[in-house]
Structure 1
Amino acid sequence: MDNAAFEMHEDGTHNTSSMGKMNTSSRMEKKRQWSLMSVFLVCLLACTVTTAVGVLILSLVYVYNSQPHSQVHLGLEARPLQTTVPIVQKAVDPKFQFLNHLPKSKVFEFPGGAIQWARYRNNVKDYLSVEEEAFGSSLNSQRSQMTLGTLRIKSSGLRAPHWHFNANEHGYLVQGTAWIGVVDDGGAVTTYNVTAGQVIFFPKNTLHWIKNVGNEDCFFLLFFSTHDELQTLDVDDVFFSVPEDIASRSLKPEGGINFIRTFQKQKEDQGVNLPPNLAELVINPSYVQSPDSLVWRYFYDLKGSKEYRFPGGVIQLAQYWKNASELSNHEKIFSEFLNQHQNALTLSTLRIYNNGLRQPHFHFNANEMGYVISGCAKVGIINTQGTIEFDVHIGDVVFFPTGTQHYIKSSCDEDLLFLLAFSTGDQLQTLDMDDYLQATADHILAQLFFKKQSEFKKIPKFKEDQAINLP
């Protein structure tokens, strides 16, 4: 049965449902559009923030780099910019590559004397100053094969028997009288006496001792053929490091190990020894001298050797000589023995009269180290950086690398006396300024200096060597 009312209601319901679906779809579309807009706005905001932060960072970096770092500090955390006091390391004068004020260095005190050093140290904290460090570093970087020490021994004092692992030792006695002992392979001992002006030589790993047998202090200048830190071992340190049973079996003393146990290690280092009760311990000591054939291997009478005289001073040498015809038998023994050892040194005294000049010169085959014994001088060094000039006085140490031209001018009323060491066991090779200019052809000098060739005839050639000259 037809029901018009029902048909009208069904149609209305259908229309209403269709309209509802349309409204829902419209709302979903609007939400979708809003979500995309939100994402876009968020991304835009993130980009803006990122750009701003980037610009800020670049600005800060620019500010930081445009100002001295010692004045501006930018921490990781937010802090106001603060001006701080800059930490400035003391600039080291270049002259301290070549100069050491040894009297200002640390004094190593012992019961029987003292030692001071001009040397390289493995630990930079062992230097007393940046100047001392500059000198030590220069010795090491130039591979100088040189270390200098001063040794003062009180009357009756003893430099304990010892040896050096990594260096030959060359000594010059400035003052006093000493008795030396050297122990060779197999226990053969050589003993001899030295006085002021004489030289001693101890090869690497050779046990030796030095005893002051005079009434005044002994003062030695000691050169060692190493640019590394010197390695030394004293006999008493060895003895107390050896286990008691090993020492007893080795020495086989009366009383055995009980005798070994009677030895007491002193609290104070006995490197330079002088017991307060020495008179009770030692009675009638003997300071004998071994045969000359043994002594002259380790000993050289520098003050009694040939003097090379110049107008302005005198040079004497304790070195190896290729031509030994002018040497005495004793000097030949020393010369040959010196040359047998690797990294041996040459020692020399240089005396310059008042206002005298050791003219500019250099050495082909050796570094040079010197100690001022008396007088004062002006020293000049000429290298690729230019000329460095400085004054030296008693106790100062100088260093001249191989091939570095240098000069020394006496500047006191008294004579200047240097003790010099050279890092060669061969005959020293030296060239003076006047010699190399005289040896160069005039036309070469004229072209070099833009002067007429005839001008160089004004430089005279003397019959007498002018290595040390006077005005």
Structure 2
Amino acid sequence: CRVTVPDALGRPYVADVNEGDLWYFPAGQPHSLQGLGSDGCEFVICFDDGDASEFNTLLVTDWFAHTPPEVLAKNFGVPAETFARIPLQNLWIFQGKVPGDLAADRAAISKAGRVPPHPFIYQLGSSPPTKESKGGEIRVADSGNFTVSTTVAAALVTVRPGGVREMHWHPNADEWQYYLKGKGRMTVLNTGPNAMTMDFGPGDIGYVKRNLGHYVENVGDTDLQFIGVFRTSRYEEISLSDWLTHTPPALVAQHLNVDEATIAKWPDNAPGLMLKS
């Protein structure tokens, strides 16, 4: 998929994204998406505003169609007849021509040689794991490594068969999940106590409120993969085992009625993912 977007200073950006990549368009910045290859592209869009939808998106074809030709002529400095054949209905998604060479598009839009200082895409799927173990991998994109993404953070989680996304919670944002492949089982613990366990497969959506403890098990025989999205500039999580192993062991032993020797065996490095022993 080819994306285009200018930054707030009008510096244009165009790039191609592939499977596993992210793009981020700041609110109010005009942008476009074009399918590449013979099969186009399919993607999941996440907004930092729950009211966002295609029905409150300003389309350039709508603006042209609802502006008098004489005003368009004044605005663009060409005769009004130039706009005699503009579409009178909005073009939200339509069939066009497959884009040509990326370098040619970049040359065409960079007339003044201005480019944004930071990219609007991030190759999350091929980035180095933030956490990695025999149980799987976690890759994170937030404003720390994807500078332009100031309102959304994401974590791509891969859990190996028999593995578990460790018991944890997120202190700074709710988590919205989209399951990409495999079979997962998530349990969420709320106050009360109230707990809910559900199974998830490709195309399913999970949701966990901020500060609620949860874990995800791979209950299939292939890798489980999902992406978690957070409305925040920074990804944060607190590991249950990391917290307890950095609390005085005598206190934990009294609280949970386990001996200190057992507590000493618990992971103390917030591994993110564990494999069934």
So what's the TM-score if we normalise by structure 2? 0.86
| Count of residue pairs the alignment pairs up | 264
Q: How does 1:32-43 map to 2 (within 5 A)?
A: none
1:287 aligns with 2:102: yes
Aligned counterparts of 1:423 and 1:264: Cα–Cα separation in 2:
36
- One-letter code aligned to 2:77: K
The runs of 5 or more residues in structure 2 that have no matched partner are 107-112
- Compute the displacement of 1:240 (Å): 0.7
Q: Give the corresponding residue for 1:403.
A: 211
| Percentage of identical aligned residues | 22
- One-letter code aligned to 2:125: K
Q: Give the corresponding residue for 2:274.
A: 469
1:239 aligns with 2:64: yes
Q: Give the corresponding residue for 1:351.
A: 158
Aligned counterparts of 1:205 and 1:214: Cα–Cα separation in 2:
29
Counterpart of 1:218 in 2: which secondary structure?
Answer: coil
CA contact (8 A) 1:310 1:465 kept: no
Report Cα offsets for 1:269-322 as digits up to 9, x if no partner: 5211115xx5xxx9x84433649963743011212322121220001111133x
The runs of 5 or more residues in structure 1 that have no matched partner are 1-177, 322-330
Say if 1:375 and 1:205 are closer, same or farther in 2 by CA, change over 3 A: same
Report Cα offsets for 1:224-244 as digits up to 9, x if no partner: 111234431111111111122
Aligned counterparts of 1:405 and 1:227: Cα–Cα separation in 2:
23
CA contact (8 A) 1:184 1:207 kept: no
1:439 aligns with 2:246: yes
Report Cα offsets for 1:133-187 as digits up to 9, x if no partner: xxxxxxxxxxxxxxxxxxxxxxxxxxxxxxxxxxxxxxxxxxxxx1111133464
Aligned counterparts of 1:467 and 1:412: Cα–Cα separation in 2:
19
- One-letter code aligned to 2:91: Q
Q: Give the corresponding residue for 1:363.
A: 170
Over 4 Å off, 4+ runs: 289-293
- One-letter code aligned to 2:102: Y
Determine which structure has more spread, i.e. the larger CA radius of gyration.
Answer: 1
CA contact (8 A) 1:383 1:404 kept: yes
Q: Give the corresponding residue for 1:89.
A: none
- Compute the displacement of 1:348 (Å): 1.8
Q: How does 1:254-265 map to 2 (within 5 A)?
A: 256-265=79-88
Which of 271, 274, 280 matches 2:95? 274
Between 208-217 and 439-448, the greater mean CA deviation after superposition? 439-448
1:458 aligns with 2:262: yes
Q: Give the corresponding residue for 1:392.
A: 200
- One-letter code aligned to 2:38: N
- Compute the displacement of 1:456 (Å): 3.5
1:423 aligns with 2:228: no
Structure having the higher helix fraction is: 1
So what's the TM-score if we normalise by structure 1? 0.52
Say if 1:292 and 1:193 are closer, same or farther in 2 by CA, change over 3 A: farther
Aligned counterparts of 1:292 and 1:252: Cα–Cα separation in 2:
24
Aligned counterparts of 2:270 and 2:87: Cα–Cα separation in 1:
61
Q: Give the corresponding residue for 1:196.
A: 19
